[in-house]
Structure 1
Amino acid sequence: MPHIPKPERGEYAPYAIMYIDLLPDDGQVLQHLRKNLDATLTLIRSFPVEKLATPCAPGEWTIQEILIHIADTERIFAYRALRIARGDTTPLTGFEQDDYVPASRANEREIESILAEYTAVRLATCTLFESFGEEVFNRAGIASENRVSVRALAYITAGHELHHVQSIRENYGE
């Protein structure tokens, strides 16, 4: 797998630093995407099923909603990466995560269905990023009115998952 250095400021929206900083500066973001999938699945399977569709506090997302949010967001980040990698210079619009979560109906689903979807999305994301030549990772485009590089999208995707996994650990324990 290619060595992909962390993106530099200016390659991503200011908010994304919180995700990028969660990853080591070892250039192995694609391996982290694969490794983190296993860690996340193990964590989720450690909880009793009844806890997965119960929010930690009123108005908060449930674990099932968080998982679907991560998968939805990952799909969008991967789509952006694909468009930019293929040389598409069309500015890409943002999305409202708070509208996506209730529309997902995550709490009405079985956890194994959610985990299967989560796994499929992650494997597709990994396969996409692994298909790119090293030169592609420095390509940049506009998404949500901010400049973003393909490598930044890889790091943001991995860090976004880590951010939510940390939140699950803090709010639900292990």
Structure 2
Amino acid sequence: MQDLDTLRYPIGDFVYGQSYTADDTRQHIAIIQELPVKLTELVGKWGDDRLDTPYRPNGWTVRQLVHHVADSHMNAYVRTKLALTETNPTISPYEEGEWAKLPDSKLDIGPSLVLLRSLHLRWVTILESLTEADLQRTYFHPGNQRTFAVREVIALYAWHSEHHYQHAYRLAERNGWA
């Protein structure tokens, strides 16, 4: 069994405050764009037994993870639009762990996979159109007590996409499902 830190952070933790080039940002957008198809190809046909398997001890099930990614990326999409249309807005944090306990986290994953495909189409359309000035626009996160530039938000959600994809992928590898 792998150690819990590796199971929790299979690609490492996100490092805040980094600098990103235009090429980095294009790569991050590509990762965001690819996630819905990758995730659907991996877990889209899994049965309840696999979907209800936690990716680590005391962790979320794959079902909760898929719904969480949809919830999280909806919030990120709205936060991106707020940053692009307002001056350093204060965004609303949410309790992701509590959201994962709500009844919709027990639904079939199909609606969340469809939502991710549509949401990412809209989000990536915006992201690909951003100018350098747009990438420097910001929002304030009161939970973290920090200001995020859109460029860093793109990097964060590219990381988030791969982070959660790897949770499911490595679970599949460990159990011989891949």
TM-score by length of 2: 0.74
Q: Distance in 2 between matches of 1:94 and 1:16?
A: 18
Q: Deviations over 1:46-71 (max 9, x none)?
A: 63453113334664211121011111
The total of aligned residue pairs comes to: 155
Task: For structure 1, list consecutive stretches of 5 or more residues without a partner in the other structure.
Answer: 1-14
C-alpha separation between the residues in 2 aligned to 1:77 and 1:141? 11
CA contact (8 A) 1:138 1:151 kept: yes
Q: 1:159 to 1:104 in 2, by over 3 A?
A: farther
Q: Which has the higher contact order (CA 8 A, sep 6+)?
A: 1
2:31–2:162 contact (8 Å) kept in structure 1: no
**Residue type of the partner of 2:35?**
N
Report the alpha carbon displacement of residue 150 of structure 1 after superposing the two structures with TM.
0.6
Q: Deviations over 1:14-59 (max 9, x none)?
A: x7428x8xxxx64322222212332222111363453113334664
- Whole-angstrom CA distance in 1 between matches of 2:84 and 2:157: 16
Which segments of 5 or more consecutive residues in structure 2 lack a partner in the other structure?
1-12
Instruction: Tell me the C-alpha RMSD between the 2 structures.
Output: 2.6
Aligned to 1:140: 138
Q: What's 1:90 paired with?
A: 89
Structure 1, residues 100-151: CA drift from partner, whole Å, max 9, x if none? 11115222x2232232122222222212323433320011231132110011
Q: Distance in 1 between matches of 2:119 and 2:25?
A: 22
Residue 98 of structure 1 aligns with an amino acid whose one-letter code is G
Partner of 1:114: 112
